[in-house]
Amino acid sequence: MEYFSITSFTKEISRIDLIGILVGHFIFAIALTKLLDWSWLKNLMTEEDKIKMLNSYTWKDLLADGAIIAVVIGIIFLIVSIFL
């Protein structure tokens, strides 16, 4: 039943609406990032731990991180393609 409500919604939304929604979310993400206090992040690890972690970072870790990013981007494109 939910599938049909999604397809009927996609027939009513235009590309300009979709672009407006995406731009609005992007602006909101930037504003929220600027408003929140991220200073606590630097206290999570000591400098020694950061250096140790960066020295142990290998190409396999880079591939895993790239794969995660690729999956997230793929899901975003899938969601956008539903509405186009």
The model's pLDDT over 8-42, given as tens digits with 9 standing for 90+, comes to 655 667 777 778 888 989 999 888 888 888 787 77
pLDDT of residue 7: 57
**Do 22 and 59 sit in the same domain of this protein?**
no
**Do 45 and 18 sit in the same domain of this protein?**
no
**Do 51 and 32 sit in the same domain of this protein?**
no
**Do 20 and 52 sit in the same domain of this protein?**
no
pLDDT above 70: percentage of residues in the chain:
85
Average pLDDT over residues 47-57: 87
**Do 82 and 44 sit in the same domain of this protein?**
yes
Determine if the pTM surpasses 0.85.
no
The helix/strand/coil state of 7 is helix
Q: What total of structural domains would you count in the chain?
A: 2
Query: What is the span of the domain harbouring residue 49?
Result: 39-84
